[in-house]
Amino acid sequence: MADRIIVTGGAGYIGSHVCVDLLSAGKSLLIIDDFSNSSPEAVRRIQELAEGDIRLLKSDLADPAQRERIIDAARDFRAQGAIHLAGLKAVGESVTEPERYYRVNLGSALTLIDALKATGGKLIVFSSSATVYGDRNKSPVDETGLLGPTNPYGRTKYFIEEMLRDLHVSDPGWKIANLRYFNPVGAHPSGRIGEDPNGVPNNLFPYIAQVAVGRREKLRVFGDDYDTRDGTGVRDFIHVCDLARGHRAALDHLAREKAPGVVDVNLGTGLGYSVLEAVAAFKRASNRDIPYEIAPRREGDIAEIYANPSKAKALLGWTAEKSLDDMCADHWRWQRENPTGYGE
Ligand code: WQD
């Protein structure tokens, strides 16, 4: 069993839910986070939700000046593996600042590899994305789908997957899971941790939630002339707590199997819901009006993508359990009880 785990980006939206899940399962954690898009308050609340042993290292994995410190901390912690979530993740920003995306995302992954080499813990669960599939596949997409990300953010995910594959070739002792997330939404049912985006949200759910709570006037629905049920985009929304559980399942799988090598696994529900269906569900859950207007298509969007999640079930014994209504109810509770997120 791998019980001493580094979680990079552990204070972030997905990371905080992963930490609560792992602590509840009795793992000890070393969180490495620079708080560039997260808050120390999230770590406090992780500790409030789950007992257990947490160390925190405030460090930027992409900063060469902090590399030795990070390696020392991993060695001191005697890490047996890592869940790697740290990185930049805004698609639009990655188009205007590609070098920053490559430097930070690839550099962080390399530092983590060095840190694990120092401890001998050759096990990585990587936060990849369905974005690696690009726009070339018919849904449901399985893991043999054609790869072709369409922006620098997506390419950093793709390149890191490939880098980890090469690492395994160089030393078959390395065990790797590339988890390809579909659209993570929702929040912990306690309402204590959730997504706290900087500035104007890019993604659908945080935007809807801010409209529902009165922070923004109305949602813009990007396109109603796609070839889908109601003309709006269709996505595979997955509850962040189901997603978190998927990381633990992957970790346990890697630790258990003698020679699993590199596995690529979709984490999705297998169900596609349209933007307007998501708006209607959120309206029901919040009992608030969600004004919207139809706007032009957003550049780079595709009509429809949802997962074939069978491999996760067969390999990891994992399936998503929470419904769209659960996702909306939990996302709304978090938004209502923390209207400005974690605050200053
Ligand atoms: C979903 C649908 C929009 C906002 C992106 C990244 C992906 C991943 C998750 C990130 C689309 C529509 C959205 C709005 C809208 N990575 N929409 N009005 O684009 O599927 O995936 O986020 O970390 O890599 O590409 O998610 O939530 O942005 O959009 O109508 O204000 O909602 O057009 O159809 P997407 P999303």
**136-185 per-position pLDDT tens digit:** 899 999 999 999 999 999 999 999 999 999 999 999 999 999 999 999 99
**CA 212 – CA 337 distance, rounded (Å):** 13
pLDDT band at 257 (very low <50, low <70, confident <90, very high): confident
**CA 143 – CA 136 distance, rounded (Å):** 13
Domain ranges of the chain: 4-185+238-269+306-318
pLDDT band at 294 (very low <50, low <70, confident <90, very high): very high
* Per-residue pLDDT at 344: 61
* Per-residue pLDDT at 109: 98
**82: β partners:** 6, 124
Q: Which residues contact 75 (CB under 8 A, 6 or more apart)?
A: 115, 118, 119
Give the residue-averaged pLDDT of 83-94. 96
Distance from residue 312's CA to the centre of ligand 1 (Å) = 23
Distance from residue 183's CA to the centre of ligand 1 (Å) = 8
Percentage of the chain lying above the pLDDT 90 cut: 96
**CA 225 – CA 35 distance, rounded (Å):** 39
**302-331 per-position pLDDT tens digit:** 999 999 999 999 999 999 999 999 999 999
DSSP letters of 244-309?
HHHHHHHHHHHHHSSS--EEEEEES-S--EEHHHHHHHHHHHHTS---EEEEPPPTT--SEE-B--
pTM over 0.85: yes
Distance from residue 224's CA to the centre of ligand 1 (Å) = 14
* Closest atom of ligand 1 to CA, residue 207: 31
Q: What is the 3-state secondary structure (H, E, C) of 70-111?
A: HHHHHHHHCCCEEEECCCCCCHHHHHHCHHHHHHHHHHHHHH
In the DSSP assignment, the letter for residue 60 is -
* Per-residue pLDDT at 2: 86
* Per-residue pLDDT at 103: 98
Give the residue-averaged pLDDT of 92-105. 97
Ligand 1 proximity of 183 Cβ (cutoff 6 Å): yes
* Per-residue pLDDT at 59: 98
* Per-residue pLDDT at 300: 87
* Closest atom of ligand 1 to CA, residue 129: 24
CATH number belonging to domain 4-185+238-269+306-318: 3.40.50.720
Q: Can 153 be counted among the known catalytic residues?
A: yes
Tokens of 278: 């998501």
Ligand 1 proximity of 301 Cβ (cutoff 6 Å): yes
